[in-house]
Amino acid sequence: MDEFIINALFGGIALALVAGPLGCVVVWRRMAYFGDTLAHAALLGVALALSANFLPLIGVALIGAVLAVILFWLEKQSELSSDALLGILSHTALAAGLIVLSLVQRQTPGIDMMMYLFGDILAISRSQLYWMYAGVILISIAMWRIWPGLLSISVHEELARTDGISVSGLRFAFMLLLALMIAVMINVVGILLITALLIIPAASARLFSRTPVQMILLAVVFALLSVVTGLGSSMRWDTPTGPSIVVAAALLFFMVHVLRGLPGRE
Amino acid sequence: MNNAAAMALLSGSGISYQIGGRQILSEIALEVLPNKIMTLIGPNGAGKTTLIRLLLGLSPLQSGKVRRKPGLRLGYVPQRVMVADTLPLRVRDFLGLGGHYSVTEMQQVLDEVEAPAVFEAPIQSISGGELQRVLLARALLKKPELLVLDEPAQGVDAIGQQALYHLIRTLREKHACSVLMVSHDLHLVMAATDTVVCLNTHVCCTGHPEDVSEHPEYLRIFGSALDGLAVYSHRHDHAHDIRGDVVEGAAADCCHHEHPHPQ
């Protein structure tokens, strides 16, 4: 097999490994829109990094962290609901990112905007893979450390607080992990589709799980299946890879729902 | 400071609270003593839940003081717990969230709250009454010195409410803990409480339930609401399901309007 396909496969596996657990928490805590906002802001991070000549990865992580701080602070201050705030931030960040990126493009015409918007898993290099797996390890360790508290606040924030858990600390920590995940995985599906891989596999997994941990493991399995089928069909029919992976995840989601709904099953 | 204040598990003084310019609480003082059941009663909007939240540190104090006994073990049962349907969680997983407990411990405590059958059930699938018991079980697992219950019988039918209050009373005796609970109906909790604090933004009156039920402030707030209610009192008897209990003494005075007792 060609090296670019192997790299793509390993890149996809890396994404599935972190999208499973983070995606479940995103679904439980209704943070889908927040994930979208972070991802949109990531474009601004990339653009700024390119214009100032440092690693896009760092730009995305920094912007993600800044956004997490802003949102965290705004939620406490503002009378606006968090979904309105997210709407403002999300589209502002996306628009600003597109403007900065187009300015950068004028100077360095080689930059491919589409790659950041939709990802290019087939262009993943060996060194990018190292970054991605470093991210996977870091995120996994962090998740493992904060897991009991994170589950507690996902179940009921006030009960968690009376148990002495720092709710805002954990919320913030999770936002940062999400930003980090987007930063390292942006090449796989791009900023416009990355939330899909957080949510869809988790949603499929919900149907078959009775415990939180089961749901996470199943979400990883569904994400892996989506990556493999998406990659395969993209090669077979020469379709864009990122969107193919998302469509594969969605097809799986509908399939398991139909199967589940058939008579004779529970 | 007298002796009682020194040994209070939880006490508050001078607590005032405003939301958007509206006075919710004004100069509240109270203390929860060891091994006592204290009930906060008051009409809707009286500030009961706000007060509980302030006492527990769930909302920041605007003025006044809250003192907790250092290292106080606290079990809290919130007014309503809704676990998102997207989160698969069995009752046993839920109970395990508060600390490290063995399966036997968790099963024992479910037995205690008379809900042994729900151990493996998804928490979203159990009834309102069962959920209240599970919440109580979760609180009990902490071996609390103080149980705080915010409208523990909400969403539970009348018979279930009596059973629940009876259970709370039994648990208090068994675990030798204090209870601070919120209710909007004095007569439901009368048998299960030592002290009643009648709250309507300020503390209207405090005392033994039967005394409070006669207090003019209490009657002013609740008097009209009580008309036509089937109200009765039983004097700490455990036969909570016997509806024809003889009502005597002071307690009878508060219920002298028409109430449909068999006798």
Q: Using one digit for the tens of pLDDT, what is the confidence trace for A189-205?
A: 888 889 999 999 999 99
In a domain, B104, yes or no: yes
Which two structure tokens, joined as six digits, stand for B49? 């839940």
Question: A127 at the B interface (CB within 8 A)?
Answer: no
pLDDT at residue B161 greater than cutoff 90 = no
Report yes or no on B115 lying in a domain: yes
Give the whole-angstrom CA distance, residue B202 versus residue B214.
18
SS3 B66: strand
Residue B212 lies in a domain: no
pLDDT in tens, A19-69: 999 999 999 998 888 888 989 988 888 888 888 888 878 888 888 888 888
Which residue range(s) make up the domain with A28?
3-192
CA A29 from centre of chain: 15
Contact in structure between B33 and B145 (CB atoms under 8 Å) = no
**Number of domains comprising chain A:** 1
Question: How far is it, in rounded angstroms, from Cα B126 to Cα B120?
Answer: 11
Residue A127: inside a domain, yes or no?
yes
Edge to edge, what strands does the sheet with B195-200 contain?
A: B74-77, B146-150, B178-183, B37-41, B195-200, B202-207
Residues of chain B with Cβ-Cβ distance to A151 below 8 Å are 97
Please state the ipTM of this predicted complex: 0.83
Question: A27–B86: do the CB atoms touch at under 8 Å?
Answer: yes
A90: in domain? yes
Cα torsion at A13, A18, A21, A25 (round to 10°)? -140
C-alpha distances (whole Å) from B167 to each of A39, A212, B190 are 51, 31, 14
How far apart are alpha carbons A264 and A219 in whole angstroms? 25
pLDDT digits (tens, 9 = 90+) for B49-98: 889 889 988 888 888 888 888 888 889 998 878 888 999 999 999 999 88
Question: Of the candidates A223, A253, A202, A158, which has an alpha carbon nearest to the alpha carbon of residue B86?
Answer: A202
Q: Do A158 and B58 touch (CB under 8 A)?
A: yes
Answer for the pair B161, B188: CB distance below 8 angstroms, yes or no. Answer: yes
- Give B13-51 pLDDT, tens digit per residue: 888 888 888 888 888 888 888 888 898 888 777 888 889
Domain assignment present for B127? yes
Let me know if residue A160 belongs to a domain: yes
Sign of CA dihedral A125, A128, A133, A139: negative
Q: How many domains does chain B have?
A: 1
Does residue B33 sit within a domain?
no
Calculate mean pLDDT across residues A91-102: 89
What number of C-beta contacts closer than 8 Å exist between A and B? 55
B22: in domain: no
- Which of B57, B83, B88 has its CB closest to that of A211? B88
Two structure tokens written together for A183: 């930063």
CATH number, domain with residue A166: 1.10.3470.10
On whether residue A116 sits in a domain, the answer given is yes
**Chain A residues with CB-CB distance to B138 below 8 A:** 159
Side-chain-facing half-sphere of A210: CA atoms under 13 Å: 8
Classify residue B10: in a domain, yes or no. no
> Which residues form the domain of B92?
74-143
A19, A48, A27: which is closest to A132 by C-alpha? A19
Tokens of A110: 């080689």
A200 domain residue, yes or no: no
